[in-house]
Structure 1
Amino acid sequence: MDRAWFRTYVGVFMILIGSYAFFWHSRDWNTSSRLMLTYALVDHGRLSIDGLEDQTGDRAKFQGHYYSDKLPGYPLLATVPCAFAETVLGLPSHPLGGPAMAFWGTDYWVTLATSGVLSAFTAVLLASFARDLDCSRRQAAVVALAYGLATPAYVYATLAYGHQTSAFALLAAFLLLSRHGEGRNILRIFLAGLLASYAAVVELQVGPVSAIIGFYLIGQCLARTWKPAAIVYFGLGALVPTLVLLLYNLLAFGNPLDMGYFHHATAQFARVHSKENPLGLRTPDWNLVVPLLWGRYRGLLFYAPIVVLALPGWAVLIGRRRFDVAAVSLLACVAVFVVNLSYPEWTGGWSTGPRLLVPLLPFAMIAVASALTAPGAWGKAFLALAVGLAIAGGVLMLLFQGVGARIPQDVADPLVEVVWPLWTGRTPLPMWWTGDRFTRNLSNLAVGAWLGRLPTAWQWVQFLPLVAFQTVGVAYLFRIDDEPSPGASALKSTCVKPAC
């Protein structure tokens, strides 16, 4: 590996993981549902969350026992850092019974080791993809850091949701397939299939994107980029997570085709999910297109403004005859978007921005990277615009992160009605608020008593160490000598003989 690019990847990862580690958000039903299954597995060796069910309202009930209503992909992955935290760090097992709690020490380490680490790696993968598209190191760093700090990916990197895990798995699968002819092809294809399938075991709603990646491989085989045997290896890889899901369903609910969504114990969700329609999907509501794209309520382009550059980016990809990359990037975004249009709870509940669109962000950022390589003055203009939009998005995400990142869906203007008033301290806490005005973070954990003596209007200074860390990291990273990616890119390579 080129040492200069390796330093860029490491720099991106360290800036992001340090930023994610700064926050320790409280639990909500969604995160607790996954975490309780993790604790049940690690602490008690069982699939039921009996004794932990009061920690969440996102739960299923079957034959007198409580279960998480979520798919097991994230909790199974989280068992590794959970066991590490309890064994090596000496953290206690989660207690059974008792009322719901907002914070538990192991929550922090599990979330950081899953959502945080995988989000940082997703950004590194984007930087690598940008290199393949002939971005310079600075351009690649802009793409990666903008994704990790200037879109809602920043928020969900600090929460135990499945979005960032599935996003990493899908992007990694696509990247593995796009780099044909680099050796160990059987393993590469097998891992791509495993990752694409595992993403759907984390979040069933990204299944269409997993399918798109599978069809991409079929297209590559038809074009003789991969040999037909690659489809078999991909299928074998995809079979592993599928069997894990079926086994979990069998052990928990007595039927491999059963799942927690069929047995919701909370009436609000039981009205949406059913055995006949696990995700509760309906005919797409096209009236939601504008609210999901624009506006301070759930508008994608408001909460992730840099994504607007995906539009010229797709044009650049098509102009360079990179039809395959353009198709996967665009179709993945469209698939996630249409699923959101089809979901009754389209707002994502308590969230920052359009929560259910978060898995499309890496694929949109591929197109953003392409826009930065536009020829002549266009490329320079897009880069300048990308930096400006990334700064704007980064400031906005920090404002939301600072106050807990989850604003109820019945707040029409989250920034104006809740977030900014909380930062300035000019209004009392909302009646639905729990905890302190600012979310737990490394600063207030270290010097909370001192911060508490500051005037209300000045307590935001607790985030200055984070901003200083990010500023110094970005300044160091951008000291690199800049030049285009050398040689023919992996995405431009053509094979004389089919790989695999």
Structure 2
Amino acid sequence: MAPSETSLNGWSGFKSFLLVALILILAAPFFTKFENANSVSRLALVSSMIEEGTTKVDPYGHMTVDIAFHEGHYYSDKAPGMAFLSVPAYLLARAAGQAVGADLEVLPQEPSAQNGKDAALRKAAIRLMILTTSGLLTALAGLAFFKLALRMTQDTRLALLATLTPFVASPLLGWSANFFGHAATAATLFLAFYFCQKINADEKSPFLNALWAGGMLGGSVMLEYTAAPAVLIVALYGLYKASRMGGNGFAKGLGAAVIGCALPIIPVLIYHDISFGSPFSVGYSSVVGFEGMNEGFLGLTSPSVSVLYEITFGQRRGLFWISPIFILLPLGLYWAAKQRSWRSETVTSTVIVVYYLLFNASYFYWDGGASLGPRHITPALPFAGLLLVFMWMNARGLLNTLALGLLAISSFLNIAATATTLTPYRLENDYQFPIWDPVLTSVFSGNTGFTIYQNFGLPAFGVAVVWMLCCLAIVHFLWRKPH
């Protein structure tokens, strides 16, 4: 007997809560390497703003190569969004440290603070900053994805499989556990898309949805400047949805969206003016030591076919090695093209995926430095996953078995990467096949993010077992059908 619409809605609400918990728990316990240049650049800005009341990061200029130099001072070359969003968690961690007599420094100057319990406390503070930014935003985007997939499929299991595809079986999971902007940008961009989709579908609060959509679009640019073209694509989709509300409704919705967008953008413009002398000057225009940024427009030239191959099939950075489930994307596109009722969503998602592929293939530093997979296309992964919803809806027999197998393999690989490192790096030369070495070799040798718990007197194996049991329990309840 099929479940009633009421029971389906109630069950989906329960599953939504469990899904958010699963995404958070999967990534929450892993203390990844925070010493990479990208994270240090952002942490330096947080520390300088709170401890010194300035956007200058002069004391940390020697600690990272991701740095800008303007009028005799060092600045972070990154968009300031991650630093802005992590301030509350930083203040909370600092207050907690002072309460127990610890002088917390997220970027200590003394080498003696790099190891031992002080280092563990420092990493715990940074982990809290990540959990409340990238982690929480990614989980909320997973919730939005599940709700939209449920609306498309009318099947909780299909919606779950579709949601696991980008949020567990892709590098999006691992980046949600790192102090980079990729996962947070992916989340805000998809949340903007979700609220745009509801402008017409949810007649109870179209203007509130427009306000949230605008806020998420502005937040995407605040987090990563390279999201601007994708923001424009989602904005055009939102305008299309709002145009169906009528003239007066369209004007009000547009006004709400503009107000929402301005809220995160205005602080960014002020930051630019204070740091670089103009609201429209960004850190990348004053970057130090990366001559390739002078190529074309801030390192962007024309797409390279060879780079496009490397970020998809290449062993060093190829997406299909770490997330083989995306090999089925052409099938998703094929079935998506046949769905007239979801055509605008299909077109929007496809254009965003194409944009990020072309952007990555056009970028001088396309490999992303120390990176597992093509990190620059991370914000496109939820949209690629949305196209795969149509594959899950139509997969039967052998194809369904293949898809489930690829999903299982992809999930294992990305959980393993999250537990070890998304930023593999060694001085002598690059890893040629990083999904094997260092990721899987580290997992098989027991060298994972659980080992840091030994500094707190907890057994690494015991923490791992508790984590695994929690995840399995949540997956069990998520897979159950409504009655």
Moved more, 136-145 or 25-34: 136-145
Cα deviation digits, residues 132-178 of structure 1 (max 9, x gap): 21241122222223333221012101100001111111111111111
Q: Is the 8 A contact 1:309 1:382 kept in 2?
A: no
Conservation of the 8 A alpha-carbon contact between 1:221 and 1:228: yes
Q: Report what 1:12 is aligned to.
A: 19
State the match for 2:476 in structure 1.
475
Of 220, 233, 241, the residue aligned with 1:220 is 241
**Alpha-carbon distance in structure 2 between the residues aligned to 1:420 and 1:273:** 34
Say yes or no: does 1:325 pair with 2:335. Answer: no
| Residue from 391, 402, 416 that aligns with 2:408 | 391
More off after superposition, 249-258 vs 47-56: 47-56
Alignment of 1:37-48 (within 5 A): 37-48=45-56
Q: How does 1:201-350 map to 2 (within 5 A)?
A: 201-222=222-243, 227-229=249-251, 230-265=253-288, 267=289, 269=290, 271-274=291-294, 277-278=297-298, 280-321=299-340, 322-350=342-370
Partner of 2:315: helix, strand, or coil?
Answer: coil
Give 1:454's aligned residue: none
Query: Which residue of structure 2 lines up, in the alignment, with residue 491 of structure 1?
Result: none
Aligned counterparts of 1:89 and 1:182: Cα–Cα separation in 2:
47
Paired amino acid for 2:264: P
Native 8 Å contact 2:153 2:159 kept in 1:
no
Range with greater deviation from structure 2 (401-410 or 363-372): 401-410
Letter of the 1:137 partner, please give it: T
Task: Give the distance between the partners of 2:129 and 2:479, measured in 1 at CA.
Answer: 31
Aligned residue identity for 2:238? L
Aligned residues: 456
Identity of aligned pairs, percent?
Answer: 22
Against the structure 1 CA distance between its residues 190 and 420, is the aligned structure 2 distance closer, same or farther, given a 3 Å change threshold?
Answer: closer
SS of structure 2 residue aligned to 1:138: helix
* Alignment pair present for 1:186 and 2:207: yes
Contact 1:291 1:298 in 2 (8 A): yes
Alignment check: 8 A CA contact 1:371 1:379 kept:
no
Question: For 2:481 and 2:337, how far apart are their aligned partners in 1?
Answer: 30
Query: How far 1:69 moved relative to its partner?
Result: 0.8
Name whichever of 331-340 and 10-19 sits farther off: 10-19
Post-superposition offset of 1:381: 5.6
Between the aligned partners of 1:441 and 1:117, the Cα distance in structure 2 is: 24
Provide the C-alpha distance between the structure 2 equivalents of 1:178 and 1:327, rounded to a whole number of angstroms: 13
Alignment of 1:18-37 (within 5 A): 18-27=25-34, 28-37=36-45
Give the CA deviation at 1:372. Answer: 1.9
CA distance in 1, matches of 2:187, 2:151: 18
Q: How does 1:140-155 map to 2 (within 5 A)?
A: 140-155=159-174
Question: Given the superposition, is the C-alpha separation of residues 139 and 353 from structure 1 closer, same or farther in structure 2, using an over 3 Å criterion?
Answer: same
Contact in 2 for aligned 1:12/1:145 (Cα 8 Å): no
| More off after superposition, 236-245 vs 286-295 | 236-245
Deviates further, 30-39 or 296-305: 296-305
Counterpart of 1:200 in structure 2 is 221
Assess if the C-alpha contact under 8 Å between 2:19 and 2:143 holds in 1. yes
Give a deviation string over 1:86-136, Cα, whole Å, max 9, x none.
235646442664459485232111011111111211211111110121241
TM-score w.r.t. the length of structure 1 is: 0.84
Evaluate the alpha carbon distance shift between residue 205 and residue 464 of structure 1 in structure 2; reply closer, same or farther with a 3 A threshold: same
Distance change >3 Å, CA 60–CA 74, structure 1 → 2? same
Compute the displacement of 1:446 (Å).
5.3
SS in structure 2 of the partner of residue 373 of structure 1? helix
1:57 to partner: Cα distance: 2.2
Higher mean C-alpha deviation, range 384-393 or range 216-225 = 216-225
Query: Residue 62 of structure 2: SS of its match in structure 1?
Result: helix
Alpha-carbon distance in 2 for matches of 1:183, 1:239: 24
Deviation at 1:55, TM superposition (A): 3.3
CA–CA distance in 1 between the matches of 2:188 and 2:72?
A: 35
Q: Which moved more, 1:43-52 or 1:8-17?
A: 43-52
Equivalences for 1:369-380 in 2 at 5 Å?
369-374=389-394, 378-379=395-396
Q: State the one-letter code of the partner of 1:474.
A: V
Instruction: Describe the superposition over 1:242-277 as per-residue Cα deviations: whole angstroms up to 9, x where unpaired.
Output: 322211111112221222112223x1x2x1235983
Q: Is the partner of 1:273 in helix, strand or coil? A: helix
Equivalent-residue separation in structure 1 for 2:430 and 2:96 (angstroms) = 42
User: In 2 relative to 1, CA 191–401 (structure 1 residues): closer, same or farther, beyond 3 Å?
Assistant: closer
Which letter maps to 2:233?
Answer: I
Output the amino acid matched with 1:202: L
**SS class of match (1:115):** helix
Match of 2:3 in 1: none
Can you list the C-alpha shifts for 1:64-91, whole angstroms capped at 9, x where unaligned?
A: 2221110111111111211222235646
| Whole-Å separation in 2 of the counterparts to 1:147 and 1:111 | 19
Asked whether the 8 Å contact 2:323–2:413 carries over to 1, the reply is no
Deviation, 1:442, is: 6.3
Deviations 1:182-222 (A, max 9, x none): 32222221221221122012111111110101111233345
Distance change (3 Å), C-alpha of 1:41 and 1:379: farther
Residue matched to 2:448 = 438
For 1:165, the equivalent position in structure 2 comes to 184
1 CA distance for matches of 2:472 and 2:10?
A: 23
Q: Residue 259 and residue 316 in structure 1: after superposition, are their counterparts in 2 closer, same or farther (change >3 A)?
A: same
C-alpha deviation, 1:418, in angstroms: 3.1
Q: CA deviation at 1:52?
A: 2.9
> TM-score if structure 2 supplies the norm length?
0.86
C-alpha RMSD over aligned residues: 2.7
Q: 5+ unaligned residues in a row in structure 1: which ranges?
A: 426-435, 452-459, 483-500
2:311 match: secondary structure: helix
AA aligned opposite 2:56? S
Corresponding residue of 2:83: 75
Question: Which protein has the bigger helix share?
Answer: 2
Q: Given that residues 108 and 114 in structure 2 are in contact (C-alpha distance below 8 angstroms), is that contact kept between their aligned partners in structure 1?
A: no
Instruction: For residues 310-350 of structure 1, give each alpha carbon's deviation from its aligned partner in whole angstroms, at most 9, with x where no partner exists.
Output: 32223333212021011011111111111101111111111
Unaligned runs of 5+ in 2: 1-5
Tell whether the 8 Å contact from 1:246 to 1:257 is kept in structure 2 after alignment.
yes
Q: Name the counterpart of 1:127.
A: 146
